[in-house]
Amino acid sequence: MDISVVVPAKNEQDNIEPLIREINQALSGNYEYEIIYVDDGSEDETLQRLLQMQKSQDNLHIVRHKSSVGQSTAVFNGVKHSNGSLIATLDADGQNDPADLPKLIEIAMAQPQYSHFCIAGYRKNRVGDNSWKRWQSKIANKIRQAFLNDDTPDTGCGIKVIPKATYTLLPYFDHMHRFLPALIKRLGGHIEVVEVNHRERLSGSSNYSFRNRAFVGLVDLFGVFWLTRRCKRADIIETNHE
């Protein structure tokens, strides 16, 4: 299996079918891939729509949470149940364009074997986001880069491609999805940023706001800063074992 596309979803019933259709259009015939939707305790018909789609698509897999535990845990559990050597993540609201996946995947496949890396999307033109939301992101990104030096101008962009072997080495904590480049760089990994399309949400409204993520984001920032400073990597020049 080349690619596992992991999509965390909460109350995204009307976005299920169009996004899966776009993923198939982007990847079908070019890669061996699977799509893993993680239903993070949805209270609408997200699960029912997924089950209906699954009847005609055998590479669509569903992981379901009894209650909502957040995007990071949803991605973590999606990766845990994946079969691909590369993990591609997408937000379920349709703002990430699946048509961008092939260019990120091709860059990922050109990386040295067994290396750690993250191919990260960059939403240079934030179509559909108001000026207040863009300002929040701009300030948050500047603060994060000042502390973590993670080589990423837009870590909040949901579209990324990461080796599964790399992802499974990362320390797990809630909200870790916002710090993936810094955590991968902590392993000695390479970060490559690619401009991607950014669209208006297909349907529905966001489950996240500045108020419910600002404080925890600050706490996590200091936590990741501590982790990066406490990591030591050894350059092994010789091994001698039987």
Under DSSP, is residue 47 helix (H, G, I), strand (E, B) or coil?
helix
CA-only gyration radius of the chain, Å: 18
| Per-residue model confidence as pLDDT tens digits over 40-58 | 999 999 999 999 999 999 9
How confident is the model over 86-97, as pLDDT tens digits? 999 999 999 999
Residue 181 sits at φ, ψ, to 5 deg, of: -60, -45
What the chain holds in terms of domains, given with CATH numbers, is 3-229 (3.90.550.10)
Cβ-count burial of 147 within 10 angstroms (0-12 exposed, 13-18 middle, 19+ buried)?
middle
Beta partners for residue 121, in sequence order: 194
For range 154-164, the mean pLDDT:
92
Reported as a single tens digit per residue, the pLDDT across 184-209 is 998 999 999 999 998 888 776 666 54
Interval 106-120 mean pLDDT: 95
pLDDT of residue 107: 97
- pLDDT average, residue stretch 125-134: 62
Which range, of 19-23, 38-42, 214-218, averages the lowest pLDDT?
Answer: 214-218
- Confirm if 9 and 43 have CB atoms less than 8 A apart: no
Tokens found for residue 87: 């993990």
pLDDT of the residue at 215 = 46
* pLDDT at position 210: 46
Output the pTM of the full model.
0.84
Confidence of residue 71 (pLDDT cuts 50, 70, 90): very high
Q: Tally the C-alpha atoms within 13 A of residue 108's C-alpha that lie toward its C-beta.
A: 25
Mean pLDDT, the chain, whole residue set:
86
Interval 119-137 mean pLDDT: 71
10 Å CB burial of residue 54 (0-12, 13-18, 19+) is middle
Per-residue HEC secondary structure of 158-223 comes to CCEEEEHHHHCCCCCCCCHHHHHHHHHHHCCCEEEEEECCECCCCCCCCCCCCHHHHHHHHHHHHH
Query: Is 232 a residue whose pLDDT tops 80?
Result: no
